[in-house]
Homo-oligomer: A and B are copies of this chain.
Amino acid sequence: MPPKKIARIPEHFITERLACAARQCEERGAQLTELRREVLELLLRHGSPAKAYDLLEAMRAEHPRVAPTTVYRTLDFLVEAGLAHRIDALNAFVACNDATHRHHTVLTICARCHRTEEIRDEKIHRSLRHGLQATGFLADSIEIKGLCPACTGISNEDAQSAI
């Protein structure tokens, strides 16, 4: 089993990200409604990739009658607005914590512990862009599956929890 990571998320970080999201939406003429703000907050507090149906459950604490559609619609909005990412490798979603707007998103996803990181190193982005240039392919988002640094050593003992 992946080690349970209880990464304590500081409150000020949440409020700051929410405020930033509000600004971003305003600028783009998008409506960060109460519903959308709540889902984004859940994602931020979750801190790691969250499943749509887990979010649904969480939503129901406040809004007992929420349906899957609502959650998926809201997540679509957040992804569209650049406030969250969908992770195909996990069928899950994470809040985006990169306020700057980049060309494309690059995520690393650990097959063992599911830890997911957004790569922001400009050098890596450049080398990706550069490498792809010859192919004529216009990249939008990139998912890199493998083993995170913490899991590289221990992956053989129990390989059963791979993606």
Contacts and interface: CB of A to CB of B under 8 A. Distances in A.
Interface of A: 88-89, 104, 108, 110-111, 117, 119, 121, 123-124, 127-128, 130-132, 134-149, 152
B140 A142 contact: no
A148 B137 CA distance: 5
Given A123-B131, A124-B131, A130-B127, A145 B140 contact: yes
Nearest to A115: B137
Nearest to A89: B88
Q: Name the residue in A89, A121, A139, A140 with the highest tally of chain B Cβ atoms < 10 Å from its Cβ.
A: A140
Chain A binding surface, main DSSP class: mixed
B136 A146 contact: no
A94 to B, nearest CB: 15
Nearest to A133: B124
A134 B147 contact: no
Candidate in A108, A119, A137 with the most chain B CB atoms within 10 angstroms: A137
A139 B132 contact: no
A144 B133 CA distance: 13
Contact of A146 (B123, B127, B138, B148): B138
